[in-house]
């Protein structure tokens, strides 16, 4: 058995960081504050929102939405505008960690297989 056991929020955070790294060519100093956030879920949410904002994409904001729903909306906006698909938006059920991990992992894999879809300098 592995010595390292990672929680689902930590796994989700790791996938979000890898997706971010696929889009950013250069690390920005302001991102370092987000990476030091102790809460993986809030950090993943902030990174996805920052990624959408950096790409100048329009996204509906709902202050009453849960962190998982906010991550789902940011990921759906990213997928729709960058990859041209609506996999996440079509799923109307409540967001779960497992779903988000699967969605973000599939987006990341699709982006790795082709030329960069977006490069933010």
Indicate if the pLDDT at residue 31 is higher than 60: no
Higher model confidence: residue 40 or residue 118?
Answer: 40
Mean pLDDT of all residues belonging to the chain? 79
Give the single-character DSSP code of 79.
I
Q: Do the Cβ atoms of 115 and 23 come closer than 8 Å?
A: no
> Tell me, what's the pLDDT at 19?
86
Residues facing residue 24 across a β-bridge? 120
Q: Average pLDDT in the 111-117 region?
A: 71
- Cα 38 from Cα 44, distance rounded (Å): 11
Per-residue pLDDT, averaged over 91-109, amounts to 86
For residue 118, give the 3-state DSSP assignment: coil
Of 98, 42, 108, which Cα lies nearest the Cα of 75? 108
pLDDT at 1: 42
- pTM of the entire predicted model: 0.77
Regarding predicted confidence, which is higher, 103 or 30? 103
Q: Which residues pair with 120 in a beta bridge?
A: 24
Proportion of the chain in helix, strand, coil states, percent, rounded to 5: 65, 0, 35
- Which two structure tokens, joined as six digits, stand for 26? 């250069």
From residue 25, how far is each of 32, 85, 93, 121 by CA, in Å? 15, 24, 34, 6
Question: According to the model, what pLDDT value does residue 34 have?
Answer: 55
């Amino acid at each position: 058995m592995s010595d390292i056991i990672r929680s689902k929020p930590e796994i989700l955070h790791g996938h979000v960081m890898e997706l971010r790294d696929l889009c950013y060519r250069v690390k920005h100093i302001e991102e370092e504050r987000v990476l030091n956030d102790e809460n993986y879920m809030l950090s993943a949410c902030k990174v996805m929102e920052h990624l959408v904002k950096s790409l100048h994409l329009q996204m509906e904001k709902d202050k009453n939405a849960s962190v998982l729903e906010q991550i789902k909306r940011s990921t759906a906006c990213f997928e729709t505008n960058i990859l041209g698909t609506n996999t996440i938006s079509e799923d109307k059920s409540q967001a779960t960690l497992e779903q988000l991990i699967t969605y973000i992992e599939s987006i990341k894999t699709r982006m790795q297989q082709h030329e960069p879809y977006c490069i933010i300098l």
